C-alpha cells in the first residue's frame, strides 16, 4: 500500500459533482499487514476516512482524520456504520470469537482485529491479535464488539475458532463468516432467565496503547496510534 500523501503533493477535496456513490462518503479503510517498517505498527486495524475521489480502476483517494491523504484499494474500504456499537453486544462475548477492539480515541479512532482468548473473573477479556506478533492483552468490554463483515446477504459474523497460515489471510473480508443466528453452533451461549411472572426465555435482541510505544503518524501512519510489530504478511 502506498503511504499517505507527502506534504509537497497537492491535496485533493471531494468532488461534489462526482457520480461515484463512494465519493464524499465517510468510510473506513483496512490496513493490511506489511513489511514496511513505517506502516506495520498501524496495520491490522480499521481507520476512518473520507473518500475524496476515484483514483484509477480499483483505487480511491481518501483523507484521514489528521487531514493526510493517500490512494487505497477499493477492496480495503468498507462502511463505517457497523450495526452494533462498542460495548453494546446483547450476548456476552465468548472465547474463540473474533472482535473489533476500539483504541478508545475520540480524535483519531481505530479498531483492531482481535480474538477472545478468555473471559476473566473481573469481567475483562484476554484477547490476542491474529494480524500481529504481540502478546495477548486484557481489554475492557466497553472497547469490544463482534467482528462483522457486510456482504450481499447482509451483515455476517467472523466465524469463531478459525485459523489460517501466516500470509493466507490479510483482511477480515477474506475470513469465513456465518449468520449471526448461527453463533450458538460455534460457541456456547449463556441462557437467559425468564423475567418475573413470565414463562420461557426473554429474547435478547487508543487511546489504549498497544505494546510499549506510541508514535504520531507523519507521512507513514495514523496519528496517536499504538504501534505493533507484525510479521504476518500476505504472500
Give the DSSP letter string of 50-95: EEEEE-SSSEEEEEETTS-EEEEEGGGEEES--SS-TT--SSPP-T
Q: Which has the closest alpha carbon to 65: 227, 211, 228, 221?
A: 221
Can you give the pLDDT at residue 107?
83
Place of cell 500476505: 234
174 vs 101: CA distance, rounded Å: 19
Residue that the C-alpha cell 476516512 belongs to: 49
Instruction: Give 141-157 as a DSSP string.
Output: GGGEEE-EEEETTEEEE
CB neighbours of residue 50 within 10 Å:
18
CA distances from 166 to 15, 45, 133, 176 (A): 39, 17, 11, 16
pLDDT at 66: 86
Looking up cell 475470513 gives 175
**Closest of 26, 32, 29, 24 to residue 54, by C-alpha:** 24
The closest of 98, 84, 118 to 44, measured between CA atoms, is 98
> From the first residue on, what is the mean pLDDT of each consecutive set of 10 residues in the chain (235 residues)?
38 64 94 84 92 93 93 95 96 97 91 97 96 89 97 95 91 95 95 54 41 34 45 40
What 106-111 contacts at long range (C-beta under 8 Å, 24+ apart), as own/partner pairs, is 107/65, 107/224, 108/65, 108/66, 108/207, 108/222, 108/223, 108/224, 108/225, 109/48, 109/65, 110/42, 110/45, 110/46, 110/47, 110/48, 110/206, 110/222, 110/225, 111/28, 111/45, 111/46
Q: Counting beta carbons within 10 angstroms of the beta carbon of residue 123, is it exposed (0 to 12), middle (13 to 18) or buried (19 or more)?
A: exposed
Residue 214 grid cell: 506510541
Cβ-Cβ contacts under 8 Å for 165 (sequence gap 6 or more): none
Residue reference for cell 506534504: 7
Amino acid at each position: 500500500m502506498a503511504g499517505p500523501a507527502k506534504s509537497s503533493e497537492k491535496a485533493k477535496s471531494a468532488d461534489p459533482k462526482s457520480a461515484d456513490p463512494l465519493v464524499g462518503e465517510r468510510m473506513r479503510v483496512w490496513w493490511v499487514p506489511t513489511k514496511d517498517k513505517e506502516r506495520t505498527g498501524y496495520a491490522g486495524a480499521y481507520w476512518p476516512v473520507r473518500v475524496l475521489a476515484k483514483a484509477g480502476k480499483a483505487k480511491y483517494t481518501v483523507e484521514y482524520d489528521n487531514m493526510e491523504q493517500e490512494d487505497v484499494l477499493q477492496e480495503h474500504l468498507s462502511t463505517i456504520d457497523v450495526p452494533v456499537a462498542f460495548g453494546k453486544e446483547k450476548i456476552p462475548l465468548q472465547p474463540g470469537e473474533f472482535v473489533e477492539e476500539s483504541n478508545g480515541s475520540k480524535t483519531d479512532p481505530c479498531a483492531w482485529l482481535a480474538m477472545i482468548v478468555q473471559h476473566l473473573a473481573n469481567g475483562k477479556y484476554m484477547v490476542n491479535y491474529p494480524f500481529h506478533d504481540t502478546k495477548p492483552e486484557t481489554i475492557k468490554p466497553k472497547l469490544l464488539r463482534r467482528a462483522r463483515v457486510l456482504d450481499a446477504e447482509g451483515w455476517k459474523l467472523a466465524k469463531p475458532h478459525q485459523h489460517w497460515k501466516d500470509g493466507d489471510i490479510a483482511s477480515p473480508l477474506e475470513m469465513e463468516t456465518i449468520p449471526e443466528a448461527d453463533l450458538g453452533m460455534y460457541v456456547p451461549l449463556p441462557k437467559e432467565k425468564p423475567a418475573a411472572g413470565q414463562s420461557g426465555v426473554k429474547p435478547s435482541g487508543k487511546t489504549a496503547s498497544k505494546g510499549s510505544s506510541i508514535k504520531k503518524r507523519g507521512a507513514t501512519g495514523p496519528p496517536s496510534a499504538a504501534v505493533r510489530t507484525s510479521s504476518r504478511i500476505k504472500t
